[in-house]
A and B are shown apart, each in its own frame.
Chain A
Amino acid sequence: MKPALKYALIALALAVAVAVPFGLEPRGYATRILCLVLLFAAMAQAWNIVGGLANQMSLGHAAFFGIGAYGSTILLVKYGISPWLGLLPGMAAGGVAAWLISLPTMRLRGHYFALATLAFGEVMRLVANTWGGLTGGPSGISVPFSKPGLAVFQFKDMRPYYFLMLAALLVVTAIFAGIRHSKLGYRLRAIRENPSAAEAIGVDTTRTKIIAAVVSGALMAGLGTFYAQFQFFFDPDTVFSIPAISVRVAMIAIVGGVGTTIGPIVGALFLIPIEELANQTFSDQAAGLSQLVFGLLLIVVILAEPRGLLEIGRRLWRWRGRT
């Protein structure tokens, strides 16, 4: 694609993204779903730094997400600290957690890395459930209501949330794209494609992987705060969930196009609404039918093109050009 066309498409997509909420009911269901689309796109993009650029299949990213959600919310509940300030220690804690889990999992590849990170996410869930004094335990934690406004990160309508989620997605995407074209991005790609060769031409593979993990974990934690302020209530089983967070963010990036800048956005635009639609359509039918339909759809997409929707789009584009 020519650069001019690319920038035109980006500008168009942004214009549509800004315009869409004004055509929708501000407290409506559709705006709420779009907020989730943007949030999950940003989460999948944060995951993409580790899962895409470094090709390390993390299934434990809920750990960092939950740390961020709990971090800012505990500070708000116990000390009245604004979520905007609580965001920072939450992100720092997410980064530190990512650094700590990187050390023992550094040399693991493929399935072994996935299993180790999966276990780490589960450990965090158990800790949050058990350490009731800090987290409120299994009964969850609520964000105390205050007078709505940007300063307290609370709003009556969905629309401000929508724009904050959009801003978060743009920031995470800009960081991802920046990393891709930086030294770090080239080094991560080198490690992904041939770790020994990368090391032999001067890439510090350990350091490179840790930096990627820390950035990814910190961003994920920051998005945890956004989620907490959006949902007002959550418990350990929600924010540290394997299917609802860890697997879902990986799935979104993979279905969209893993390692690409717009893959996670395409993936979230596709998966989140379809999941909602399947729930709505089939929830009054047999139990679990919506999950089954959703799962089958995922299988079809991945069978059709393992590199994701973006690649299917590219193929269609080329095919259109030929006829």
Chain B
Amino acid sequence: MTALLQISNISKRFGGLQALNDVNVSIARGEILGLIGPNGAGKTTLFSTLVGLLKPSTGSIRLEGREIAGMKPHRIASAGMVKTFQNVALFLDSSVLDNVLTGGLLRHSVSEARALARHCLAQVGLSDIADKRAGDLSFPERARVEVARALCTEPRILLLDEAMAALNHAEMDEFLALLRRLRDGGLTLVIVEHHMKAIMSICDRLLVLNFGRQIAIGTPAEIARDPAVIEAYLGRSAA
């Protein structure tokens, strides 16, 4: 299997802080990769670097063989990689439908994008609130609207930054089912999530970051018994 996304030697430095230090990972088409690590490990920085909101200090990012490191975010979105934001970044004064529709404009006319947006809203189960103002929604609803908006750009690979935060159990099960359906439809996913049970159940592989450094990569079962990971999460004595 050829890699859809090839991340090689990615580092990001902010002044004296090494936020990412030599990250290397190759993500296969149709894979669900989980990105975990303690707070401040560099998960969101890695996402922002991948989609071009930050420029990597060194390293290469290849999407379907094409170098995208240093490109502007809209070019990377057009190449097929988008992310959602940790704090949820909607257009709050616009309707839910208009939010999602704006994603569809990347590849379609306004009327086509509107039809596609309705489809994406149905996928995340939000058809009934299409006309509500985004600013009036609850946080979990906003997160799902943002996922729908990202889907409306028709990505090859979608990066979800804590999209499941604040969901209750039933909602989370629904969301995981949605992610599986999307994967079965050919989408590749990278997800940052703190809810360990959810991430263990859905991910094919996990990448663990700590202080910007990649400390382990492997299947959930391998990661669960990896001494370096246990040490990072629980401290040295536990390992």
Cross-chain contact of A186 among B53, B73, B101, B153 (Cβ < 8 A): B101
A175-199 at interface with B (beta carbon < 8 Å): 181-183, 186-187, 189-190, 193-194, 196-199
Query: Are A197 and B77 in contact, CB atoms less than 8 angstroms apart?
Result: no
B93-113 at interface with A (beta carbon < 8 Å): 93-94, 98, 101-103, 105-106, 109-110
Q: Total contacts A to B, CB within 8 angstroms?
A: 77
Is residue B90 contacting chain A, with contact meaning CB distance below 8 A?
yes
- Specify which chain A residues have a CB less than 8 angstroms from the CB of B93 in the assembled complex: 189, 193
Query: Are B82 and A202 in contact, CB atoms less than 8 angstroms apart?
Result: yes
The chain B residue with its CB closest to the CB of A205 is B74
- Specify which chain B residues have a CB less than 8 angstroms from the CB of A183 in the assembled complex: 105, 109-110
A200-250 at interface with B (beta carbon < 8 Å): 200-205
Query: Are B94 and A200 in contact, CB atoms less than 8 angstroms apart?
Result: no
Alpha-carbon distance between A183 and B106 when the two chains are bound, in angstroms = 9
Cross-chain contact of B72 among A182, A186, A190, A199 (Cβ < 8 A): A199
Alpha-carbon distance between A204 and B105 when the two chains are bound, in angstroms = 11
Query: Are A200 and B102 in contact, CB atoms less than 8 angstroms apart?
Result: no
Query: Are B82 and A189 in contact, CB atoms less than 8 angstroms apart?
Result: no
The chain B residue with its CB closest to the CB of A183 is B105
Interface residues on A, range: 10 to 19
The chain A residue with its CB closest to the CB of B93 is A193
Alpha-carbon distance between A196 and B101 when the two chains are bound, in angstroms = 17
- Specify which chain B residues have a CB less than 8 angstroms from the CB of A190 in the assembled complex: 91, 94, 102
Interface residues on B, range: 20 to 34
The chain A residue with its CB closest to the CB of B88 is A197
Is residue B89 contacting chain A, with contact meaning CB distance below 8 A?
yes
Query: Are A202 and B78 in contact, CB atoms less than 8 angstroms apart?
Result: yes
B65-96 at interface with A (beta carbon < 8 Å): 72-74, 77-78, 82-83, 85, 89-94
- Specify which chain B residues have a CB less than 8 angstroms from the CB of A205 in the assembled complex: 74
Query: Are B83 and A203 in contact, CB atoms less than 8 angstroms apart?
Result: no
Give the interface centre of A189, A190, A201, A202 by most chain B CB atoms within 10 Å.
Answer: A201
- Specify which chain A residues have a CB less than 8 angstroms from the CB of B72 in the assembled complex: 199, 204
Query: Are A202 and B101 in contact, CB atoms less than 8 angstroms apart?
Result: no
Contact A186-B102, Cβ < 8 Å, known A193-B91, A200-B53, A201-B82 = yes
B residues adjacent to A (C-beta < 8 A): 51, 53, 72-74, 77-78, 82-83, 85, 89-94, 98, 101-103, 105-106, 109-110, 149-150, 152-153
Q: List 10 A-B contacts (CB under 8 A).
A: A182-B110, A183-B110, A186-B102, A187-B102, A194-B89, A196-B53, A197-B90, A200-B73, A200-B77, A200-B89
Beyond A203-B74, A203-B106, A204-B74, 14 additional contacts (C-beta under 8 Å) are A183-B109, A187-B105, A189-B91, A189-B93, A194-B90, A194-B92, A197-B89, A200-B53, A200-B82, A200-B83, A200-B85, A202-B73, A202-B74, A202-B106
Which 4 residue pairs are nearest across A and B when measured between Cβ atoms?
A202-B106, A202-B77, A197-B89, A193-B91
A residues adjacent to B (C-beta < 8 A): 181-183, 186-187, 189-190, 193-194, 196-205
